[in-house]
């Protein structure tokens, strides 16, 4: 959970890079403007979440899903995002599947030979692991269900 | 079989490329969860929100740059953003966190005027 207010900010370096890439080369973006855009992005996330949650609640669902987020974009009049978002989601889903298959292979391999070196590397990237693992688990669960159904 | 010889490190990197997003998903999820009434969020929904936030940052920056006087000075300022929030409907929800800056002198003047109008309507009409 968010313990400090800074936890609800997005990383400035990444925001700055996205701004720089969007604007023509050599445009000077003031520090104040960068901070404001970063805050605006956080507010955007909250606004989108709240809109999406309304759609989920209307459908009597407890879990926000991709469709809710897309519906929220439409409601917020950001229709221009819909196409790129759908494309990105497709690529993401495809990638996720490959990664989960990859992880399973790695796990099998690790079981065969305890690889201490890779474990140390993993500990260094704890934050990344926190992002990746729930996905992998979800996928594994989904796949197990599929197998049972088949 | 060839793929399984990659180290876990490399896998993480290639998956980041495939996702094509640069903002941290975990942070976006944290912000989403801080919203009241939200209990569970699907992984795809977090991904989409992250991607949407990136598109939003680009859109806000470009719209403000094109809308404001920045093209001549080759710069993007806070004022350009505040103007965009005020003028473009889709960015209206930002007016609370992107208030237009006014000089303290102007603010005090408008405050005085409002007080005068409250105290004595006839006087302010003469003014």
- Which range among A54-58, A109-113, B104-108, B114-118 shows the weakest confidence by mean pLDDT? A109-113
The radius of gyration of chain A's CA atoms, rounded to the nearest angstrom, is: 20
pLDDT computed for residue A106 by the predictor: 84
Chain B residues 23-42 with CB within 8 Å of chain A? 23-28, 30-35, 37-42
Nearest beta carbon to residue A41 from set B3, B11, B53: B53
A33 interaction partners in chain B (CB closer than 8 Å): 76-78, 80-81
- The reply to whether the predicted model has a pTM over 0.80 is no
What tokens were used for A85?
A: 């978002």
Å between B103 CA and nearest CA of chain A: 17
Å between A148 CA and nearest CA of chain B: 22
**Span A124-147, pLDDT tens digits:** 544 444 444 444 444 444 444 444
What tokens were used for B90?
A: 């889709």
pLDDT computed for residue A109 by the predictor: 79
Average pLDDT, chain B: 81
Query: Does residue B49 register a pLDDT over 80?
Result: yes
Length in residues, chain B: 127
Residue A72 DSSP symbol:
H
| ipTM above 0.90 for this complex | no
B21 confidence band (pLDDT: 50, 70, 90): confident
Exposed, middle or buried: residue B33 (CB in 10 Å: 0-12, 13-18, 19+)? middle
Chain B residues 62-121 with CB within 8 Å of chain A? 62, 65, 70, 74-78, 80-82, 85, 89-90, 93-94, 97-98
Residue written as token pair 């104040």: A32
Q: CA–CA separation, B58 vs B80, rounded Å?
A: 14
Contact (CB, 8 A) for A37 and B97 = no
Nearest beta carbon to residue B12 from set A45, A53, A132: A132
Residue A11 DSSP symbol:
P
B52 interaction partners in chain A (CB closer than 8 Å): 44, 48, 69, 73, 78, 81, 85
CB contact under 8 A, A88 and B20: yes
pLDDT computed for residue B5 by the predictor: 41
């Amino acid at each position: 959970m968010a313990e400090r207010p800074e936890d609800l900010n997005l990383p400035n370096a990444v925001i700055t890079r996205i701004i720089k890439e969007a604007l023509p080369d050599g445009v000077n973006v003031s520090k104040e403007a960068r901070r404001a855009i970063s805050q605006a992005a956080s507010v955007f996330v909250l606004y989108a979440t709240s809109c999406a949650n309304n759609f989920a609640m209307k459908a009597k669902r407890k879990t926000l899903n991709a469709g809710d987020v897309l519906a929220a974009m439409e409601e917020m009049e950001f229709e221009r995002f819909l196409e790129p978002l759908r494309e990105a989601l497709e690529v993401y889903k495809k990638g996720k599947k490959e990664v989960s298959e990859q992880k399973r292979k790695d796990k099998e391999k690790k079981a065969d030979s305890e690889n201490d070196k890779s474990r140390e590397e993993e500990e260094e990237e704890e934050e990344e692991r926190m992002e990746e693992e729930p996905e992998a688990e979800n996928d594994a669960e989904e796949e197990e269900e599929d197998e049972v159904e088949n | 079989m060839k793929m399984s010889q990659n180290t876990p490190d490399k896998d993480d990197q290639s998956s980041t490329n495939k996702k094509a997003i640069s903002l941290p998903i975990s942070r976006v999820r944290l912000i989403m969860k801080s919203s009241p009434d939200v209990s569970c969020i699907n992984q795809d929904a977090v991904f989409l929100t992250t991607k949407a936030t990136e598109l939003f940052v680009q859109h806000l920056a470009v719209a403000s740059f094109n809308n404001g006087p920045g093209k001549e000075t080759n710069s993007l300022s806070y004022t350009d953003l505040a103007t965009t929030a005020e003028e473009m409907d889709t960015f209206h929800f930002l007016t609370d966190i992107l208030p237009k800056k006014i000089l303290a002198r102007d603010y005090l003047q408008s405050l005085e005027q409002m007080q005068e109008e409250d105290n004595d309507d006839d006087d302010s009409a003469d003014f």
